Amino acid sequence: MTRTVSITNNKGGTSKTTTALNLGAALKRAGHRVLAIDLDAQCNLTLGAGHMPGNAHAGTFLLGETSFEETLVETESFDLIPSHKTLLSYEYRINTEPDSAFFLKDYLFNKQYDFIVIDCPPSLGALTVNALVASDFYLIPMQGENFAYVGLNEILQLTAKIKKRLNPDLELAGILLSKFDHRTKFAQMVYAKLQQNTNLKLLKSHIRQDVTLMECAAFGKNIFAYAPESRGAKDFDALCQEILAL
């Protein structure tokens, strides 16, 4: 049975793409068939997987202009539905279509993967809604820094509405603390506040600050191909095991 996980946070710079790239690669490394979908017009997941954007991408796929097979790209890290810098114009068109929230779910029906990992844009628009309607779980990367809570309530309110109206199976996989340094007082305060919120689920895995996580994506590689003995590789392997246990 396919399990679909959306990586979402409407605040930029929270390590969504780093998480999607390396969680997807970790799941494949664990022997699973993995599809990743880049729904962010910045194309960072696409580039991080070593693929240059082309004419077939998530926007053309969602509007039925290209088939799944025509859009799919095989990369070292996983199979990929890539993004394109024009994706926002496609989002506008998707938003005007009836039942547009179900486009991605319908197109992914009966695809032969163990896991589908979706990198959502830093917004709560039509593409993020499509991802969440198609997902079993959503994961929220969050940093222990100023403005870490920006948008968190909006995400939780949106997912609650989607669960009630569009996808009753949607569940929070957890809050993933990323680039987190427990040595700072502010990070300790953020962590304590998160623990006090009974509506939130904190993942046990934390992604520590590690320069190799930035470097690997710049070279179009996942952390396991670029620096398999690094802290980043160990942290994402731990996250993979936690996701497998869901």
pLDDT in tens, 10-34: 888 889 999 999 999 999 999 999 9
- Report d(CA 44, CA 2) in Å as an integer: 24
For residue 52, what is the domain's CATH number?
3.40.50.300
Q: What's the pLDDT tens digit per position in 117-159?
A: 999 999 999 999 999 999 999 999 988 665 666 678 889 999 9
User: Could you tell me the two tokens for 140?
Assistant: 């929220």
What percentage of the chain reaches a pLDDT higher than 70?
97
pLDDT for 183 equals 76
Q: What helix, strand, coil percent values describe the chain, rounded to 5?
A: 45, 15, 40
pTM of the model as a whole: 0.96
Count the Cβ atoms, other than its own, within 10 Å of residue 194. 18
Quick check: 180 pLDDT over 80?
no
- Report d(CA 99, CA 112) in Å as an integer: 24
In the predicted model, what is the mean pLDDT of residues 98-117?
A: 96
Looking at residue 193, the DSSP 8-state letter turns out to be H
**How many domains are there within the chain?**
1
pLDDT for 149 equals 67
Q: Parallel, antiparallel, or unpaired for β 171-178 and 137-142? A: parallel
Domain with 169, as residue range(s), is: 3-244
